A and B are shown apart, each in its own frame.
Chain A
Amino acid sequence: MTKDELWGAVLAQIQLNISQANFNTWFKDTEIISVNSSEVMVSVPNSFAKEWLENKYNKIIIKTINEVNGCKVKDVKYIVSNKETQATKKYTNTPVNSNQLEFMELNTDKETNLNPKYTFDNFVVGPFNELPHAAAQAVSQNPGTLYNPLFIYGGVGLGKTHLMQAVGNEIIKNFPNKKIRYVSVEKFTSEVVSSIRNRTMEEFKLKYRDVDVLIIDDVQFLSGKEKTQEEFFHTFNSLYEKNKQIIISSDRPPRSIQSLAERLRSRFEGGMITDVSQPDIETRLAILKTKAQEKNADFSDDVYNYIATNIQKNIRELEGALNKLIAHQKLGNQVVDLNKAESILKSAFRSSTKNTTPKKIIKAVAQFYDIKEKDMLDVSRKKEIVRPRQITMYLLRKELSCSFPFIGRKLGGKDHTTVIHSCDKIEKEIKNNETLKEEIELIKQFILSL
């Protein structure tokens, strides 16, 4: 009999002799750590349980162990395990908006900037991310030789950061001597700025050119930052020439990043470009189940199905919904079934469907193409404005079924025939232009994340 089986049998027996409430309180999260001929060691979640089992149930536990196992154990020792129990009852969730910055230092490795929680093991692979995952794994086996740079792009909340950090963490495991640095473009930019100001440019250069693996997140934010682009370009070249691995992520392909220096764009395109698309329903289910398991929770299949059918575009949202249910389950001490899940999540789903508004569409397009919202609503006929404006018109029509005159009024008082022309034009172009199609998909996702 294994020790788990033994403890299972003991618990089954003891359960019959004491009240359910007492059983749940004192025997929850207990297990046998070791058994020998005269002594059994049991781990308990807290000092209260230790005290109570020692004083009240010790005899019956010893007796039951001996009955079940047919041996002569004389003593049972109880030790408080270090495992964190979910006993905290109060659940506070500070409402923060998505732009609220966090202290990065709290969960990351100071040297590498990597967060150890992102690994390949807890990354769910499906058809939507098979290729980037395979490429990432290949890179982590042979950094600097296979795909350099590795460029991963895709919408928000689809796991780019997870994948990139997993590469970093895996390389640490495989090649402990390699120097790895993970940095977001925002951080990189602020470092460039401060080293210019503090005249510490040399230190900065040394810091980044000394690494074996450089992982750069959210490279689309390089858009329009010329000095940073220049610094990045030199860093990139210096590393590339030395066969150091570079991994880059972005919310869109290199060619769609506005005002990115041509030389950088061509560098990015020189390696492997791969995209993370949206997960299919099977993958979403798999993700939910993996996350639930990580958090020691379980729900019935129809609950998973319910979440997976209602959230389609964002893995982070899947996780959020799941966390909500887990919290309810733990706090209420009761099983969350489909009915419960529906009532808990209904409001969350409802708000996400009515999320799209003309204002958001305009904002998203403007941000995506790095132009001012004001310009887009103006009469300007500059080429770089006209195109985004047409896309906005198309999206307003497609996503919100706005009337042509309304769209015209909204976007600088255009005639409704102009709007019809624009929508048709984009509609036709999408059929032949893969890039445009991709861009519009990304903008749609972007709208949802605003």
Chain B
Amino acid sequence: MKIKINQLKFKEGVGITERISSRSSSLPILKNIIIRAQKNIINISSTDLETGIQWWAIAKTEKEGEVVVPANILSGFINFLPDKNIELTTIKNDLIIECGSYKTQIKGFNSDDFPIIPEVAEKNSILINAKDLCKGLSQISDIPSFSTTRPEISGIFFNFKKDRLKLVATDSYRLGEKSLLLNKVIENDFSFILPQKAVKEIIGIFGEKDGDINIVLGASQVLFELTMKEIIHPQIKFTSRIIEGEYPNYEEIIPAKNSIQAILNRNDLLNQIKAASLFSGKVNEVVLRIDPDKKEVEVLSQSPDSGEYSSTLTGKITGKKESVSFNHRFLTDGLGNIKSSEIVFETNSGSEPGVFKPVGESDFLYIVMPIRAN
């Protein structure tokens, strides 16, 4: 093959595909990426057999062909190249890179051994703004934890219903739900569970991209696709397996009504909880003591080793006096992902879920189970 491409462009392609070239895999070829010179277009792909990334860009092709080279060596090397045009050629399995005064030969492998990234046979598809999707996902993507017994909840639930996409994640101790408005009302509702790892890749790949992503759901896979600006051709295709099984009926977890409500400044609450966490000891326990008469919430923690902490913040509080203990990590995780300046904290009692919501927006919900008070 022989192809010419701009250094920055090439670096982007290698950077995106290198993300999933896995390190400790049983199949050594997966540590590589495949570069293909096609007519007027360069294509770089990688896979870890769970997900696949394919990237395309316009390039000047003089001779078509393909080459498989180690992702880490290539990406490490490209960063040293000047911002000039790069010429890629091959000798047998090896890749020759020429750029300015640099000339390199990277040992490659037989491209016949490189896995084929399966096509997704479309059952449903929908267009959604890339940045909005990634922003929404990043608000809940850290919540799931890997579980062999309940694989369904180790992923993130995408639920497309009428004019809305609801993204849901839980680790059985807490749950986050983000709603996004779709551009149009869809005819057939559909849903799938995407592995957490794939979600994090999506945020990394599409987080800064303009335009819409086409989400295409197949039988056992889902595709996230972004189109090129210059010509009608895909720019990035991210394919992932989906987690088989039914997502639990999570809506039961959302309390229908809460008798206690406190509207608080988010930053103050977050800071006080972080300060309290220093004294919460190994059990991570921080107590929120709600006092509607004094119109304040007291944040408390204590540990036999480090000492005690207490602080108060005032707010609009209704309901009865109550103390609720939480794992401070769960609180800071959730509050950190709420963007409004004020939050609503609601609960019924110290042994029932606590609900956190932004004030003025109804598109995010974070629910945490308390620690049983001693």
Contacts and interface: CB of A to CB of B under 8 A. Distances in A.
Interface of A: 21-22, 24-25, 46-52, 55, 80, 82-84, 86-97, 99-103, 105-107, 110, 117, 186, 190, 193-194, 197, 295, 323, 326, 333
A102 B374 CA distance: 16
B146 A103 contact: no
B362 interface: no
A103 B369 contact: yes
Contacts of B50: 46, 48, 87-88
B65 interface: no
Contacts of A94: 145, 171, 173, 329
Interface residues of B, number: 59
Given A25-B26, A80-B219, A99 B372 contact: yes
Nearest to B245: A84
B249 interface: yes
- Top 9 nearest A-B pairs by Cβ distance? A47-B118, A99-B372, A101-B369, A105-B252, A25-B27, A51-B116, A51-B118, A97-B283, A80-B220
A105 B283 contact: no
Contacts of A51: 115-118
A206 B1 CA distance: 78
Nearest to B367: A103
Contact of A295 (B28, B148, B170, B370): B148
22 contacts: A24-B26, A25-B26, A47-B221, A48-B47, A48-B50, A80-B220, A82-B220, A84-B243, A93-B145, A94-B145, A94-B173, A94-B329, A97-B371, A100-B372, A102-B172, A103-B172, A106-B150, A106-B153, A106-B170, A106-B172, A186-B351, A333-B26
Contact of B252 (A110, A117, A194, A326): A110
Given A47-B221, A99-B372, A186-B351, A88 B118 contact: no
Contacts of A91: 146
A46 B349 contact: no
Given A46-B50, A101-B369, A110-B252, A86 B148 contact: yes
B312 to A, nearest CB: 25
Contact of B173 (A47, A52, A103, A110): A103
Contact of B49 (A46, A86, A100): A46
A48 B26 contact: no
Interface centre among A89, A91, A194, A323 (most CB of B within 10 A): A89
Contacts of A87: 49-50, 241
B244 interface: yes
Given A25-B49, A51-B115, A194-B348, A96 B173 contact: yes
A49 B173 CA distance: 35
Interface string B272-305: 0000000000111100000000000000000000
B116 A55 contact: yes
B146 A92 contact: yes
Nearest to B219: A80
A103 B170 contact: yes
Interface in B94-118: 113, 115-118
A185 to B, nearest CB: 12
Contacts of B195: 88
A99 B371 contact: yes
Contacts of A86: 148
Given A25-B26, A80-B219, A48 B115 contact: yes
Contacts of B351: 101, 186, 190
A337 B253 CA distance: 42
Given A52-B115, A80-B219, A107-B150, A102 B173 contact: yes
B64 interface: no
A51 to B, nearest CB: 4
B248 interface: yes
Given A99-B374, A102-B369, A103-B173, A88 B49 contact: no
B352 interface: yes
B235 interface: no
Interface string B134-159: 00000000000110111101100000
Interface centre among A47, A82, A99 (most CB of B within 10 A): A47
A46 B241 contact: yes
Contacts of B169: none
B327 interface: yes
Contacts of A100: 173, 327, 369, 371-372
Given A80-B219, A110-B252, A21 B146 contact: no
Contacts of B131: none
Nearest to A91: B146
Contacts of B145: 92-94
B175 interface: yes
Contacts of A90: 146, 196-197
Contacts of B13: none
Contacts of B26: 21, 24-25, 333
Given A94-B145, A105-B248, 9 more contacts: A46-B241, A49-B49, A84-B151, A87-B49, A88-B154, A93-B145, A96-B327, A103-B353, A110-B252
